[in-house]
Chains A and B, each alone.
Chain A
């Protein structure tokens, strides 16, 4: 496959979201292709950074609580 066909799939590959056949195509292209490998590494750095973020969760406190009286001493 050509680089132009691989690039749209690289981010999806990094998050493990491709079908197995597509992932295999990306994998076999990456090894010999320096330019796609460089792009892959940059996306992989973002993926690693995401690992320190907690999954999205609703914030239990609404901002109205911030402006409401506190019940504990500060």
Chain B
């Protein structure tokens, strides 16, 4: 039986239709407060807000672990569906929302990884092609460690403001020199350098703030 997210949302809406609904803005609410709202009539707003905040991180981790865009996209869809359905299992006294969502992501990624490992695609020339997921079969702990670090780094990049994130992305992922960034952006070279330095310091602070113990991700 096919189940659509919109159907589930509609069903939830119908179940709650007898209650008086007050519209409330979700802007500025913490992740934990939004999770509380997943159990209330403003579920779509809360879900959208959490999606805006975390979908790129889930996608990035998916790309790292699962190795292709379409499976990473499937991961994003499945994670947010599971997040909504399992929202009552979230306990803010036990972990941050980010750590909890990482656990959800890891669990869904492992399921997709297993499915993919057995998937064989026929290709036009008649040969068989095994989907190119990374091979963690000999060291599953490596997948856990890498995905957790990937999660933390992605979150750290997400919380940088746009100008600092842009400098890091151009310098690190784009491979541009500071002078090239200056020319391309029109920013003075000194500003590019100071932003790079400041962005690194912020990343360092964010990575240190996250709970890095393995206990947190069990």
Contact = CB atoms under 8 A, between A and B. Distances in A.
A17 B47 CA distance: 40
B185 to A, nearest CB: 13
Interface string A30-74: 000000000000110111011011111101110101111111111
Given A71-B2, A73-B2, A56 B7 contact: no
A66 B173 contact: no
Contacts of B80: 66
Contacts of A57: 59, 63, 69
Nearest to B63: A54
A36 B33 CA distance: 43
B199 to A, nearest CB: 8
Interface residues of A, number: 39
Interface stretch (B93-101, B121-129, B146-154): B146-154
A63 B52 contact: yes
Given A18-B178, A73-B2, A74-B81, A49 B48 contact: no
Contacts of B197: 7-8, 10-12
Nearest to A45: B204
Contacts of A73: 1-3
Given A9-B193, A18-B178, A67-B9, A52 B59 contact: no
23 contacts: A8-B190, A10-B197, A11-B193, A11-B197, A12-B196, A15-B172, A50-B172, A55-B169, A59-B59, A61-B76, A66-B76, A66-B81, A67-B5, A67-B44, A68-B4, A68-B5, A69-B6, A70-B3, A71-B2, A72-B2, A73-B3, A74-B78, A74-B81
